[in-house]
């Protein structure tokens, strides 16, 4: 069985906004509760789908605090805390820990491109040494198509070797199944979490630990069904059907700009068009796209 320290279905939750473009705490915490009710093991708030890097440090802290105040248990929250400057990554990580939130997803510093593994190792090491909290569990965040900063397999190995109790997993959002398999093979017990929904089932079969994905905002119950029954031969058809449903939602969300589309689809699911709002530089879907999306959405399984 799995020796992963982090395993399950985690939602890369979207962040709703008020009419004046601030985080809508009430709607967000309702959404978190709903995600857990639909089967998510946890909510990986403040990631790429959550538009975290479009919020100030103060807003990020307020979003996490709002979730806790609304009664979401600390051990069900996995905020993104990796930002572009080491002192602010330290500050956000310490803030989470101060609230009892011990699992975080951490981007590398992402302004400079083509940086060396030595440089990324130094950056992560300095953060972890400054935070210096044995409770902390870090999920590295590999999303080179957005961050511009890939995390190589040797770098991952160096970080695990240096911080074996802290660096416990990776969110692999490049969607590169070969890379996921290689990480699993290289580092037994290290949690590889799919960042791309269609890979949940194949990754679990290959020894992966679960997922942190955007489509969970819409079909968490199907993701949970895949996760729970992947090894149950008798339910193979159900599992395949659940993964197919996930893929249908994913395909539709990727037919337009993904994050605004995910948000618009949450709005269609919940009947609350406030969900359409995004923060610049992301823009809400235009009226024509939204109308077409709504028509396609109504036909999804």
Residue 229 or 279 with smaller CB distance to a copy of itself:
279
Residue 263 annotated in active site: no
Burial 213-228 (b: 16+ CB within 10 A, else e): bbbbbbbbbbbbbbbe
Strand, coil or helix: 142: strand
Alpha helices in 38-109 (DSSP H): 57-69, 86-98
Q: Closest CB to a copy of itself among 88 and 228?
A: 88
Minimum CB distance to a copy of itself, residue 108 (Å): 7
User: Any idea what the Cα angle at residue 84 is, between residues 17 and 89, rounded to 5°?
Assistant: 85
Stretch that binds a copy of itself, among 39-47, 104-112, 177-185, 197-205 (CB under 8 A): 104-112
Please identify which residue in 26, 37, 122, 291 interacts with a copy of itself, judged by CB under 8 A.
122
Q: Which of residues 133-152 bind a copy of itself (CB under 8 A)?
A: 145-149
Q: Is 64 in the site for a copy of itself (CB under 8 A)?
A: no
Identify residues 18-47 at the interface with a copy of itself (CB under 8 A): 21
Sole window of 105-113, 168-176, 178-186, 190-198 interacting with a copy of itself (rule: CB under 8 A): 105-113
- The side-by-side arrangement of strands in the sheet containing 167-172 is 42-43, 8-11, 210-213, 191-194, 167-172, 137-142, 103-106
Tokens in use for 263? Answer: 């948000």
Please, what is the minimum distance in Å from the beta carbon of residue 85 to a copy of itself?
5
Q: Residue 120 or residue 180: which is nearer to a copy of itself going by CB?
A: 120
Contacts 24+ apart (CB under 8 A), 284-290: 284/260, 285/256, 285/257, 285/260, 285/261, 289/256, 290/264
Cβ closer to a copy of itself: 2 or 18? 18
Q: Considering only residues 18, 116, 152, 255, which one is a binding residue for a copy of itself as defined by CB under 8 A?
A: 116
> Does residue 112 contact residue 148 with C-beta atoms inside 8 Å?
no
Annotation says 276 is catalytic? no
Of the candidate residues 3, 18, 26, 111, the single one contacting a copy of itself (CB under 8 A): 111
Residues 6 or more apart whose CB falls under 8 angstroms from that of 1 comprise: none
Question: What's the closest the beta carbon of residue 290 comes to a copy of itself, in angstroms?
Answer: 15
- The interface with a copy of itself within residues 250-289 (CB under 8 A) comprises 257, 259, 279-283
On whether the CB atoms of residues 10 and 23 are closer than 8 A, the answer is no
Residue from 171, 276, 290, 297 carrying the catalytic annotation? 171
Of the candidates 69, 103, 111, 141, the residue annotated as catalytic is 141
- Give the C-alpha separation, 42 to 169, whole Å: 15
Cis peptide before 200 (omega within 30 of 0): no
Residues that bind a copy of itself (CB under 8 A): 21, 48, 53-59, 83-88, 91, 108-113, 115-116, 118-120, 122-123, 126, 145-149, 257, 259, 279-283
């Amino acid at each position: 069985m799995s020796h992963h320290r982090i395993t399950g279905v985690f939602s890369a939750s979207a962040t709703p906004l008020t009419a004046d473009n601030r985080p809508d705490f009430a709607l967000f915490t309702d959404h978190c509760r709903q995600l857990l009710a639909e089967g998510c093991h946890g909510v990986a708030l403040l990631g790429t789908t959550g538009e975290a890097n479009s919020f100030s440090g103060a807003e990020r802290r307020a979003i996490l605090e709002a979730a806790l105040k609304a009664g979401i248990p600390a051990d069900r929250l996995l905020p993104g805390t990796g930002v572009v400057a080491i002192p602010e990554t330290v500050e956000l990580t310490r803030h989470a820990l101060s609230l009892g939130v011990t699992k975080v997803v951490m981007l590398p510093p992402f302004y400079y491109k083509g940086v060396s593994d030595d440089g990324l190792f130094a950056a992560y090491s300095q953060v972890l040494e400054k935070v210096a909290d044995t409770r902390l569990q870090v999920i590295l965040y590999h999303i080179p198509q957005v961050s511009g900063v890939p995390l190589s397999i040797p770098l991952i190995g160096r970080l695990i070797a240096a911080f074996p109790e802290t660096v416990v997993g990776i969110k692999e959002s490049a969607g590169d199944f070969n890379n996921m398999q290689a990480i699993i093979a290289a580092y037994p017990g290290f949690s590889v979490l799919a960042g791309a929904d269609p890979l949940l089932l194949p990754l679990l079969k290959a020894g992966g630990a679960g997922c942190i994905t955007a489509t969970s905002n819409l079909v968490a119950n199907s993701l949970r069904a895949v996760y729970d029954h992947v090894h149950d031969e008798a339910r193979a058809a159900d599992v395949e059907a659940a993964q197919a449903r996930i893929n249908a939602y994913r395909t539709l969300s990727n037919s337009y700009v993904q994050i605004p589309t995910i948000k618009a689809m949450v709005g269609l699911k919940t009947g609350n068009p406030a969900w359409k709002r995004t923060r610049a530089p992301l823009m809400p879907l235009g009226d024509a796209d939204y109308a077409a999306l709504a028509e396609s959405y109504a036909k999804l399984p």
